[in-house]
Chain A
Amino acid sequence: MSKIKIIKDKCIGCGLCISACPVDAIKLIDKKAVIDLDKCTLCKACLESCKFDAIEIKEQTKKAKDLSDYKGVWVFAENSNGNIAPVVFELLNKARQLADDLGTEVSAILLGHGIEKKAEELIQRGADKVYLVDSKDLGHYISENYTIKIAELIEKYKPEILLAGATTTGRSLAARIAVKCYTGLTADCTGLEIDKDKKILIQTRPAFGGNIMAQIISPNFRPQMATVRHKVMPEAKPDPARKGEIIKESFDSTNVDKRIKFLDFVKEDVSTVNLAEADVIVSGGRGLGSPENFKIIEELAKNLDAAIGSSRACVDAGWIPYSHQVGQTGRTVCPKIYIACGISGQIQHLVGMQSADLIIAINKDPDAPIFKVADYGIVGDLFKVIPLLSKKLKEAKSPK
């Protein structure tokens, strides 16, 4: 019994599926496509490519559990040092829409120490309920401890959807919870909506470094889990008049995972390094020529309250620390404005920044690939253009 098959009557032997197959598993034999099942990974790329519906895949048939008990949309209220992570407000906004479409309520799950007063803030931003677990054992985020408690809450209250930010914390945590609860998890979503007929969550996310988009569902498992990319969705605005319920839950100290010990946290200069939070990023590339020349990038960044990014070339040359690297092997960023200075735009760099709302490129080579993704570009000598741009933007921003 194979899970994928070619319907021979429909196949015209056009070969589109052959070029779509990433693992070279399809061949034409007697003008019909034939799939080598030893090579096929069931990735479905061919399904998409076939214009004649000639490829069939056997979908999941089982029902994992009784799903009707699962109700409500949950948001993991990530926090550190007593502050709610900004992505949480974006999740609450989206959760509100999803819950309204499903006719259900939004709950936030807030774990930490000394964070009780933050529950109100979550209610103001759209939570109907806050499950609050305030414990000295949860003061610092440890995946194992948080997983135990959240899995327990899921078991007890049965949410149908659970959202977390696609942050280092959210991604490490959600992956553990999903395995523990045997449910589906979609990483780094940029779109979420409800299929109103089936009442399920449709999750859209980039793959292959943003070169393609995929829509993913987990129809037979609950909760449907997703981590969501920061700065893609708008924040919920606070409404001081909103009322909600705070449900206190306790953490059993004997559940602390003694195998992991938190030793220390070292904060880096957040204003220039926190690429995830920055609305504006100014990035420098090989075109700068030397590490000293990052000064002009710093100057422009300062005038725009921007974080500083970099291409891989500068990091590899030791001009700037790795934490600034944008791109495939660095960070993926999604600011409102990305200014690429002296960056040619290798695909490895583009996949890390092409989802920025607005891209500005400055490069002396008019054929540089960065101009293909840029909304605005200046072809010119960056040592002349950038200082001038710094000055003009400063003037434009300051009140006349």
Chain B
Amino acid sequence: LGNAGKKDMMHIVVCIKQVPDTTEVKINPETNTLIREGVDSIINPFDTYAIEEALRLRDKFGGKVTAITMGPPQAETVLRDAISLGVDSAILVSDRAFAGSDTWSTSLILSKALTKMDNFDLVICGKQASDGDTAQVGPGIATHLNLPQATYVRRVDSLHLDTSPKVIVVERLLEEGYEMLEVRLPALITVVKEINEPRMPSLRGKMKAKGAQIDVWKNSDLAIEENEIGLEGSPTQVVKIFSPPKKEGGKIFEGEPAETVDKLVKEIKDIL
């Protein structure tokens, strides 16, 4: 996996998000609203692959991994989860002024936080978050910071830290196959599930996570103009939320295969 030198202290930043467990989100048929009571908050499933990839690269090449999230104070939980997996340090970016930020403002806030950090070589994000499903914040951060990007990465082919410039070679998953890109560091990549199998937290990791110091950065630390963040700075506005049209009950056939198949074929042959 490349010819990287260990002497170089590599810094990888993983951007993660706390999301409601989508699998538990349901609609109350009477009020037509989301029932999210008792729904657990979890780490965005795609971010677990981002964390794992960062840890693997660090373990191979040396260096450190920082996890960062933007969210309300309780989002700290996902940072502790990240530390329990082996992430070295974590930063919570949290301020009332950030609430209501859309992907434009969120990527601005995260990019300002990244700028405030030690120099980093690589930023890794999950391909998208399971609540918003936008896949926009990763490329958004890259653009705010003028970083090159590789989205939908399914494999890190190699990392070259002793070349000048340092580069990473990755495979991107596309609709019809995959492409290989060589990207100069510092860069931002977003990863898909195929890239790895995330580890489970160790007991030691869990202990460490419990007592870990998590820095909280407020907008006074980042000094972003108020009119670029929150509802005011966000170009998009949610006008309404509603439940999708309900599906009519389907026709379910039971019985002998010969009969049920005949019934089904009769129903669908005209649309094939």
Contacts and interface: CB of A to CB of B under 8 A. Distances in A.
A214 B244 CA distance: 9
Contact of A20 (B36, B136, B142, B264): B36
Given A18-B37, A175-B135, A262-B179, A42 B99 contact: yes
Interface string B230-272: 1110111111111110010011111101101110110111011
Interface string B20-31: 101101111001
Interface stretch (A110-118, A121-129, A152-160, A263-271): A263-271
Given A259-B187, A263-B181, A274 B244 contact: no
Given A3-B99, A185-B103, A218-B235, A211 B22 contact: yes
Contacts of A336: 271
A182 interface: yes
Interface stretch (B8-16, B170-178, B200-208): B170-178
A276 B175 contact: yes
A356 to B, nearest CB: 11
A317 interface: no
B34 interface: yes
B236 A218 contact: yes
A250 interface: no
Contacts of B74: 23-24, 39
Contact of A268 (B45, B131, B178, B262): B178
Contacts of A37: 96, 99
Contacts of B103: 175, 178, 185, 187
Interface stretch (A99-107, A165-173, A231-239): A165-173
Interface stretch (A53-61, A68-76, A130-138, A241-249): A53-61
B262 A376 contact: no
A188 B9 CA distance: 39
Interface residues of B, number: 102
B23 A347 contact: yes
B166 to A, nearest CB: 11
A213 B25 CA distance: 13
A49 B31 contact: yes
Contacts, number: 346
A215 interface: yes
A328 B45 contact: yes
B130 interface: yes
Interface in B45-102: 45-46, 71-74, 96, 99-100, 102
Nearest to B171: A266
Contact of B134 (A187, A208, A221, A346): A187
A19 B36 contact: yes
A360 B257 contact: no
A175 B265 contact: no
Nearest to B242: A213
A175 B232 CA distance: 19
A379 B253 contact: yes
Given A185-B236, A213-B243, A208 B181 contact: no
B81 to A, nearest CB: 17
Interface in B99-140: 99-100, 102-104, 107-108, 130-140
A371 B176 CA distance: 31
A212 B243 contact: yes
B183 interface: yes
Contacts of A277: 175
Contacts of A274: 175-176
Given A208-B25, A270-B176, A304 B104 contact: no
Interface of B: 20, 22-23, 25-28, 31, 33-37, 39, 41, 45-46, 71-74, 96, 99-100, 102-104, 107-108, 130-140, 142-144, 148-152, 154, 165, 169, 172-184, 187, 192-194, 227, 230-232, 234-244, 247, 250-255, 257-258, 260-262, 264-265, 267-269, 271-272
- Chain A to chain B: the 7 pairs with minimum beta-carbon distance, closest first: A184-B235, A42-B100, A175-B139, A322-B194, A187-B134, A259-B184, A179-B143
6 contacts: A168-B151, A182-B235, A183-B104, A211-B244, A323-B194, A328-B23
Given A64-B235, A375-B251, 12 more contacts: A38-B73, A40-B72, A43-B238, A178-B136, A187-B136, A208-B20, A212-B243, A263-B182, A347-B22, A347-B23, A375-B247, A378-B261
